Structure 1
Amino acid sequence: MINIKAPERHRATLPLNRCAVIVAAIAVEALMNALSRLLLICHPDLHPSPALARAQALAKATGATLHLVVLSQLPSRLATLDHVLRGNVRRQDAEHRKAWLNDQVKALGELGTTAYAETLDDEDPLKDLIRLAQLHRVEMLIKDVRHETLVSRALLTPLDWQLLRRCPIPLHLVAQADTTLPARVLAAVDLVEHDHAVAKINERILQHAQVLAQRCKAQLHLLQAYEPGPSFLAYAAAPVAWTEDRVEEMTGRARERLAKFASHYGIKPDHLHLVRGPARNVVSEYANQHGFDVVVMGTAYHEGMTKVIGSTTEQSLYKVHSSLLAIHA
């Protein structure tokens, strides 16, 4: 436990950067103590999946309780059956899912993990999942990535995207898990905007990334994608030409901000990465090229074109080959 109480004669002279480091450490420690409940949305076909493997590994590594959920769904080919037949099919389906869940809970118990399970109706899964997460004070929701077409995302808003936009707790979407526990974690932040809300989500991103890395004994890296633009020159009274010297100057400032931010969390200098380019491309490309197991990003949703285009995190969902941990603003 970090003790921040200093003798009276020294309190006024405690360096500002030292205070920031202490505050960051306390925030991370609080999260470490709170990571005790996980919620897994099981694969609809009831078979082993990357998300199941990751959830089992995380529960074992953290000592967390694992709550398993299966979304009940009547196959579309059976929708034309009459009421009685549909009822029989639903009962058989429910029994099958219950038996499968009981087997998973038993297997987890034999491995030393406390687990619970239930089936939810899929008519309004987002509302039910959020309610369940709040009821059990869940600290992370885990799910397999399900690829959807652009048309489907725009018109139907699949569950993955609903969760990215509305889920208030950290959302871990797993595309593949070559290792059950992540060995390399990449936190993607935005240190360009001089905005208090952006600064707060940056802090949350790195805090959750650091907790995940520490509990999994993984490497933690920090990535800043940047593009020279108006946000770099908010103080300018007129448009500024982007000469090579100006770009170099802006790059230097971005590097300084990244180093200062990382120092609050003790991130190694050789684990800091500043890459020029749009975040919607840089994050996924860098993560894939360097073999990161989890990319931690912030997500915020605004009505309008974002519903069709998607946030940077949404655009990265299908591009990142491994998995995302989305932290809601």
Structure 2
Amino acid sequence: MIKYNNILVVIDPAVDEQASLHRALDIARLGQGVKLTLFLAIYDFSYEITSILSAEERDEMRSGVVNYRQEWLQAMAEPYLTQGFDIVVKVVWHSRPFEQILQEVEAGHHDLVVKGAHHYNLLQTFIFTPTDWHLIRRCHCPVLLVKEHEWPMHGQVLAALNFSDEPVQQALNEKIVREAQQVAQLLKSELHLVNAFPCPTINIALEVPGFTPEIYNDAIRQHHINQMAEYAARYHVPDDHTHIREGLPEDVLPELALELDAELVVLGSVGRTGWSAALIGNTAEQVADEMSCDLIVIKPDADEAE
């Protein structure tokens, strides 16, 4: 029913409970023939700068650490292997984990990345871009960021739409709804569509007969209502499962997810890069940081993003 058959599970050696593994197992239980790859990228700078050891000795020490973690991951997988799950483990030595994750996605043809979500404070995000954010911006397969919220059957799944006129965003909306539909069917959950729009406030008096800011704002709202009605009709979503909210997505989506006790929100990311990403950020990243439930982030198809 769902296309998640080859899942890359990012393991965090710094935590005891591997939320990403538990969520990937949830998905595997609901499907058939699902393969899980437990992936860990490790690095210790001290092994690179020591002058006491020769290059060969440093290589041996790195290999020893990788082998130790390989055995650790294998032991973690063993109970599930005996239950019939298809699991392989992979450990690499690399100083930039997100690069190795992206390379593994391409090389292994994975159709989903599952990773425990981290919360980063403002100073941390200014100094460096977290791994989560790199994946949101650059990973071409869906990225599932796992929070503490459970996945009960017959729950709520939200598909967050952006009614921009850009063709790439319109195509992404279609992809978001299809993805959310598949997950909702898998979980036997109800699908909701949500759109958040910041309505501009016009303070400049325009010399246009009959123009008022209220009329302009009403026209903006009606445009979003009409767009939502089109998507709801196309995908057979009942009216009481559609939500138009005025405000910023990073405020609206977490609030609505909490109201509905949603287990999952699906949204898209066109992914800013460079200075615009560093100074402005991306909506998906801000939403991910505020959300209390799981989040699936998807990007446009490669040919549409160009």
What is the match of residue 228 of structure 2? Answer: 258
Matched, 1:326 2:297: yes
CA contact (8 A) 1:79 1:86 kept: no
What is the match of residue 7 of structure 1? Answer: none
What is the match of residue 275 of structure 1? Answer: 245
Matched, 1:293 2:263: yes
Over aligned residues, Cα RMSD in angstroms?
Answer: 2.8
Matched, 1:160 2:132: yes
CA contact (8 A) 2:47 2:62 kept: no
After superposing on structure 2, the runs of 4+ consecutive aligned residues of structure 1 that deviate more than 4 Å are: 75-82, 84-89, 237-240
Matched, 1:308 2:279: yes
Unaligned runs of 5+ in 1: 1-31, 231-236
Matched, 1:60 2:32: no
Q: Cα–Cα, structure 1 residues 277 and 78, in superposed 2: closer, same or farther, change >3 Å?
A: same
- Rounded to whole Å, the distance in 1 between the matches of 2:129 and 2:121 is 10
Letter in 2 for 1:274: I
Specify the SS of the correspondent of 2:227: helix
How far apart are 1:161 and its partner, in Å?
1.1
- Worse-matched range after superposition: 118-127 or 272-281: 118-127
Q: Percent identity?
A: 23
- Rounded to whole Å, the distance in 1 between the matches of 2:125 and 2:210 is 38
Letter in 2 for 1:155: I
Matched, 1:118 2:87: no
- Rounded to whole Å, the distance in 1 between the matches of 2:100 and 2:153 is 28
What is the match of residue 10 of structure 2? Answer: 41
Q: What is the total number of aligned residue pairs between the two structures?
A: 290
- Rounded to whole Å, the distance in 2 between the matches of 1:238 and 1:161 is 47
Matched, 1:204 2:159: no
Specify the SS of the correspondent of 1:48: coil
- Worse-matched range after superposition: 220-229 or 36-45: 220-229
1:69 corresponds, among 39, 44, 54, to: 39
CA contact (8 A) 1:226 1:276 kept: yes
Unaligned runs of 5+ in 2: 202-207, 301-306
Specify the SS of the correspondent of 2:290: coil
- Rounded to whole Å, the distance in 1 between the matches of 2:41 and 2:209 is 55
Alignment of 1:90-109 (within 5 A): 90-109=62-81
Query: TM-score, normalising length from structure 2?
Result: 0.84
Matched, 1:136 2:108: yes
CA contact (8 A) 1:163 1:171 kept: yes
